[in-house]
Structure 1
Amino acid sequence: MEKTISHLPHKASPVLVKQANIFADLPAKLIGDFQQEFQLNEWHKGDYFNSALLTQRFFVIIEGQVEIKQSNPETGREATLDMLYAGDCFDLIVLLDDQPHDVIVSPLTTVKLLSVKLETMRQWLWTYPEFNKQFMPYLAQKMREKEELASSLILHNVATRLSRVILKHINKIKFYISGKEDEQQHIVNGLNDDTLARMSGTVRQIVNKQLQLWKKDGTIDKKRNQLIIKDLEALEEEAKYTQTLSNAPFTNSQPRNKS
């Protein structure tokens, strides 16, 4: 049975506010002013979120992962609209047009968030040019991600779409373990076949078939709700990236930070 999310009435600290991409480089005084308006929330996997709250408050993720999805009530089929990580915020659509947004907000892990009244967030954007200057590139990045998702669904096969989903995830998480001869093997936790299918616009059976093919040729190792990426270059080749995007996966020449 789904639980209802609990909104903890805690105030946020300036340190927490700076963890969000859109606030990170603001002057200390402005962050200090902003933090007085934020509330600290904590959600857990399986918690129920009433999407009507998106017309009241604006949310920023500090820790954890949140899946934004929509479903067809007639078929029960679901599609992932966005996967959000620490530093991301939502709902940008409601912020811009002030209209209800029929989405399912699903915490995939324990999630810590900051929230602020939606009207306050809009007022900040209108009042502070330095904040607007940081917000617009983030908005553009999210628009590019949506463009990439739409084009991938039309232009690329399942293997390419799935490889891009996995690469984007490990680029966001940047977590790996040492394998044989100190090889870096990236770990993908919490994304089961159903979730990967929603993210890549297909069904679980096809995702499972592709993962088994990659397991057979040594690209990945698959365990319950966990993928171990053993051959990152093979996955990058499958993804067929032709340009470096702001959220594109790192290459072997880029530094990889162990968490």
Structure 2
Amino acid sequence: MSPKLATGNTAPKLAFASRLPAPAPADPVSLLARNNAAIRKIDYLGGDQLFCQGEEGRAVFYVQKGRVKVTTVSKSGKEAVLSILHAGDFVGEGCVANQPVRTVTATALTNTTVLSIPKQEMMRVLHQERHFSDFFINYMLTRSSRFEEDLTDQLFNSCEKRLARALLRLAGQNEDGTPKGAIPTVNQETLAAMIGTTRSRVNLFMNKFRKLGFIEYSDMLKIHSSLLEVVQHD
């Protein structure tokens, strides 16, 4: 069936619409390029450090490909894994908030490509480009909410449930909420540091999850949607 044409004052509305500016690019890379930001593309091998705790923060990094582990070390030397970042995540943004030195270390878990955005360039684009500013604020609010969920998880959930949630988080989600599937294997020491337990406990539950068919692992770690049962079970 052909669409019906509206009658009345259609022409003025169409004329007005034709004068509207073109939609802004949807991704931050395009927005940075549109504002001639002096960004630099850097490739890291797995195990390379993007920056270390205690260093001066001079740039924000945007992950284009790969995964980045974010850790912090206490004065007593104990290390904690704060997060595992994926493509589309920022890291090192504390320098924009006048954080004098890095409070975390960022390490590439796999071969990783990032965009390095100098601090002053990041601040300039945030002030000049409303679409980029909106994108970045929304990203930071989403990540803040995620940190609150992680803290709640750490305080109230069992080790088994924390591990299941961490694995699902690492896998990422499809639009229907199911895990995306296979990811590069993460060593058990890293998983233990992420959820605040020992490697032996992680090994115990990983074996349990595999026997129940929730996960498969060899060269890659495959997460099945059935693992959601562990997180949803009270």
TM-score when scaled to structure 1? Answer: 0.70
Tell whether 2:222 aligns with 1:228. Answer: yes
SS at match of 1:55: coil
Task: Give the structure 2 partner of residue 117 of structure 1.
Answer: 118
Superposed displacement of residue 98, structure 1: 3.1
What is the letter of the counterpart of residue 43 of structure 2? E
Q: Which residue of 2 aligns with 1:40?
A: 41
Q: What RMSD over aligned residues (CA atoms) do the two structures have, in Å?
A: 2.8
How far does residue 158 in structure 1 lie from its aligned partner after superposition?
Answer: 1.0
Superposition pairs of residues 8-23 of structure 1, within 5 angstroms: 21-23=27-29
The question of 1:188 aligning with 2:186 is answered no
AA aligned to 2:144 is M
Matched, 1:208 2:203: yes
1:67 is the counterpart of 2:69: yes
Cross-structure match for 1:253: none
Separation (CA, whole Å) in 1 of partners of 2:128 and 2:233: 39
- The CA deviation string for residues 45-82 of structure 1, in whole angstroms up to 9 with x for no partner, is 122444366611111111111101012353x5321112
Paired-residue identity, %: 23
Aligned match of 1:57: 59
Deviates more, 1:49-58 or 1:158-167: 49-58
Q: Determine the C-alpha separation between the residues in 2 that align with 1:32 and 1:106.
A: 29
Q: Is contact 1:57–1:118 with CA below 8 Å preserved after alignment?
A: yes
Structure 1 CA distance for aligned equivalents of residues 40 and 232 of structure 2: 42
Q: Aligned in 2, Cα 1:216/1:237: closer, same or farther, shift over 3 Å?
A: same
Cα deviations by residue, 1:4-49 (Å, 9 ceiling, x for unpaired) = xxxxxxxxxxxxxx79x5456x4xxx63333x51111111112244
Question: Which segment drifts farther, 197-206 or 43-52?
Answer: 43-52
3-state SS in 2 of match to 1:105: strand
Q: CA deviation at 1:138?
A: 0.4
What amino acid does structure 2 have at the position aligned with 1:67? K
> Structure 1, residues 136-169: CA drift from partner, whole Å, max 9, x if none?
1101011011111111100101111111111111
Greater than 3 Å deviation, 4+ residue runs? 21-24
Unaligned ranges ≥5, structure 2: 1-24
Q: Which amino acid aligns with 2:192?
A: A
In the aligned structure 2, how far is the partner of 1:153 from the partner of 1:125? 34
- How far 1:194 sits from its partner (Å)? 1.0
Secondary structure of the residue that 1:86 maps to in structure 2? coil
Q: Name the aligned partner's letter for residue 236 of structure 1.
A: L
The 5-angstrom pairing of residues 74-113 of structure 1 reads: 74=76, 76-113=77-114
Q: Distance in 1 between matches of 2:174 and 2:69?
A: 15
Per the TM alignment, residue 241 of structure 1 is displaced from its structure 2 partner at its CA by: 8.8
In structure 2, how many angstroms separate the alpha carbons of the residues matched to 1:161 and 1:54?
Answer: 33
Tell me what 2:128 maps to.
Answer: 127
- 5+ residue gaps, structure 1, are 1-17, 175-183, 243-259
- Tell me the matched-pair count: 206
Aligned counterparts of 2:85 and 2:217: Cα–Cα separation in 1:
23
Larger Cα-atom Rg: 2
2:229 to 225, 230, 237: 237
Distance in 2 between residues matched to 1:105 and 1:151, nearest whole Å? 24
Counterpart-to-counterpart distance in 2, 1:101 and 1:185: 32
Conserved 8 A contact 2:185-2:217: no
Q: Which amino acid aligns with 1:207?
A: V
CA distance in 2, matches of 1:237, 1:211: 15
1:228 maps to amino acid:
K
